[in-house]
C-alpha cells in the first residue's frame, strides 16, 4: 500500500535527508558536541527569524510556547489585547483566560484579516493594556494577518508584542526585529519541515525585562525565566532545563542547513507556486476560494464546496481513493470548507498533481464530465 501524501497545514511530509537525521543514533542533550550543534541551530534560526534576539528551543508544541510567553510577562488581572478572526485566536483567548487576564478581543469576521485600524481602536479604548497577542497565519481560515500594520500600533503604544508564527515562520518573509516583535513563536513541524516535538521562541531584550519584572507566583517549565537561567549559567554544557528530543533537534539542524543553502526566497517561491497551481485548478473545477487573494496565505488554501459536493465525502474519498490527505474546516467551518497545505513535500509537483487529479476523479465518480488533467492549468514554476 502506498503512503498517503500529506497536504495539510502540519505536520508535513519531510525529505529523505531529514528523515535520515531523525534516524541517527541518539545523542545526549549536553556536552561539547551537543553545544556546538545547538548553538549552530540557534544561529541559523536567527537568520531565518531575521533577528538579533535570543532564541529558545523548547520541547513541546507551539501552544505551550505561546502560553509560556504570555504567562511569563503578565500578572493576573492585567489586560491583554487578542484580536479574534479564527480558531487559533480563540485558543490564545482561552490560554489568557486560564492565566486570569482581562481580555480585550475585537472580533473580525472569519475569512477576513485583522487590520491595523482594528488594533489601534482597541488600544485607544484600553490604554491600560500591557500586551498584544496576535496570530500571523490563521490556518483555520488560511488568512494571513498583516503584521506590518498590526505590530507598529502596539509598539507605538508601548505594548509587548506576542506573535503566533506557528504556521508561517519558514514559509514566508517574517522580519522579527523590523516588526518589533518581542516574542515570536513557531514550531519545527510546519514550514521548517521536521517531525513534531520542538517549539521555538525569539525573545527581545524588552521581553526579557518584562520576564524579570513579573512578580506573581508561576510554574517552572513554562516560566521563560527558567530557560534564561539555564542558558546563562549552564549554557556552556547544558543549555536547557530539561532533556530535549535530541533526534528532532538534529533533524532541525539538517533542515535549516538545507533551507539556508537552497535560499529562503527560493523556498518561499516554491510554496507560493504550489498555492497558485492548487487555487487555479480548484477554480477550473468550480470550487470557490474561501479567502480573497489579497489576504490569502501562500502556505495553505481554503475552498468552499461547489453545488452537490459534500466536504466530508470529498475529503474521505481523496484519502481512500487517491491517497491524498487534506484538512477539513474547524468548529463552525466544518463541512463548509476544506483546507490544503502547501508546506513540506506538498510544495512538490507530484503532490499538487495527485491532489488535483484526485478531485477530478471524485467529480467523475459522481457524474461530472471532467476531462482528465483539466485542472492542471498552472503547474509552471511548481517544484519537481
Helix ranges, 173-326 (H): 176-179, 205-213, 224-233, 246-262, 264-284, 311-322
pLDDT band at residue 1, thresholds of 50, 70 and 90? Answer: very low
Largest CA distance in the chain: 68
pLDDT digits (tens, 9 = 90+) for 262-290: 999 999 999 999 999 999 999 999 999 99
Is residue 336 included in any domain, yes or no?
Answer: yes
- Tens of pLDDT, residues 74-85: 999 999 999 999
pLDDT at residue 2 tops 70: no
The verdict on 275 and 352 lying in the same domain is yes
pTM beyond 0.85: the answer is yes
State the average pLDDT over residues 245-262. Answer: 98
Domain range enclosing 289: 263-365
Average pLDDT taken over every residue of the chain: 97
**Residue 244, φ and ψ in degrees, nearest 5:** -95, 155
Whether 187 and 85 share a structural domain: yes
Distances (CA, A) of 38 to 55, 145, 192: 11, 32, 16
Tally of domains within the chain: 2
- Do residue 70 and residue 104 come from a single domain? yes
**Domain-embedded: residue 276:** yes
Query: How far apart, in whole angstroms, are the C-alpha atoms of residue 50 and residue 178?
Result: 8
Residue 217 is predicted with a pLDDT of 87
Closest among 338, 220, 236 to 279, alpha carbons compared: 338
My answer on whether 208 and 226 are in the same domain is yes
- 92-124 pLDDT, tens digit per residue, is 999 999 999 999 999 999 999 999 999 999 999
Q: 31: which 3 cell numbers?
A: 556536552
Same domain, 349 and 242: no
CATH, residue 73: 3.40.640.10
Instruction: Indicate whether 270 belongs to any domain.
Output: yes
Domain stops at, among 208, 228, 260: 260
CA–CA gap between residue 337 and residue 164 (Å, rounded): 23
In a domain, 374, yes or no: no
Residue 22: helix, strand or coil by DSSP? Answer: helix
Amino acid at each position: 500500500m502506498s503512503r498517503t501524501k500529506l497536504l495539510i497545514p502540519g505536520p508535513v511530509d519531510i525529505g529523505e535527508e531529514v528523515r535520515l537525521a531523525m534516524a541517527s543514533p541518539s545523542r545526549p542533550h549536553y556536552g561539547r558536541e551537543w553545544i556546538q550543534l545547538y548553538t549552530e541551530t540557534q544561529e541559523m534560526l536567527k537568520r531565518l527569524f531575521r533577528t538579533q534576539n535570543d532564541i529558545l528551543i523548547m520541547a513541546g508544541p507551539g501552544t505551550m510556547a505561546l502560553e509560556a510567553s504570555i504567562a511569563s510577562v503578565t500578572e493576573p488581572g492585567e489586560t491583554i489585547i487578542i484580536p479574534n478572526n479564527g480558531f487559533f485566536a480563540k485558543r490564545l483567548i482561552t490560554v489568557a483566560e486560564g492565566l486570569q487576564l482581562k481580555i480585550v478581543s475585537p472580533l473580525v469576521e472569519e475569512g477576513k484579516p485583522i487590520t491595523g485600524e482594528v488594533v489601534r481602536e482597541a488600544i485607544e479604548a484600553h490604554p491600560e493594556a500591557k500586551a498584544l497577542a496576535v496570530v500571523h497565519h490563521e490556518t483555520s481560515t488560511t488568512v494571513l494577518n498583516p503584521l506590518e500594520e498590526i505590530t507598529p500600533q502596539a509598539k507605538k503604544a508601548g505594548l509587548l508584542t506576542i506573535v503566533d508564527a506557528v504556521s508561517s515562520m519558514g514559509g514566508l518573509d517574517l522580519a522579527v526585529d523590523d516588526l518589533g516583535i518581542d516574542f515570536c513563536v513557531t514550531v519545527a513541524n510546519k514550514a521548517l519541515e521536521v517531525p513534531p516535538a520542538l517549539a521555538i521562541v525569539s525573545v527581545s531584550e524588552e521581553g526579557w525585562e518584562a520576564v524579570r519584572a513579573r512578580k506573581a507566583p508561576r510554574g517552572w517549565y513554562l516560566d521563560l525565566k527558567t530557560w534564561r537561567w539555564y542558558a546563562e549559567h549552564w549554557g556552556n554544557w547544558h543549555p536547557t532545563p530539561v532533556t530535549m528530543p535530541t533526534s528532532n533537534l538534529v533533524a532541525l539542524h539538517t533542515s535549516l542547513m538545507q533551507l539556508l543553502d537552497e535560499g529562503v526566497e527560493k523556498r518561499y517561491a516554491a510554496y507560493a507556486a504550489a498555492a497558485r497551481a492548487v487555487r487555479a485548478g480548484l477554480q477550473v473545477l468550480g470550487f470557490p476560494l474561501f479567502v480573497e487573494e489579497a489576504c490569502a496565505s501562500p502556505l495553505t488554501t481554503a475552498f468552499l464546496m461547489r453545488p452537490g459536493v459534500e466536504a466530508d465525502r470529498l475529503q474521505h474519498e481523496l484519502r481512500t481513493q487517491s491517497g491524498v490527505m487534506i484538512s477539513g474546516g474547524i468548529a463552525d467551518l466544518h463541512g463548509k470548507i476544506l483546507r490544503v497545505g502547501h508546506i513540506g513535500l506538498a510544495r512538490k509537483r507530484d503532490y499538487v498533481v495527485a491532489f488535483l487529479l484526485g478531485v477530478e476523479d471524485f467529480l467523475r465518480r459522481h457524474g461530472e464530465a471532467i476531462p482528465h488533467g483539466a485542472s492542471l492549468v498552472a503547474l509552471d514554476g511548481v517544484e519537481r
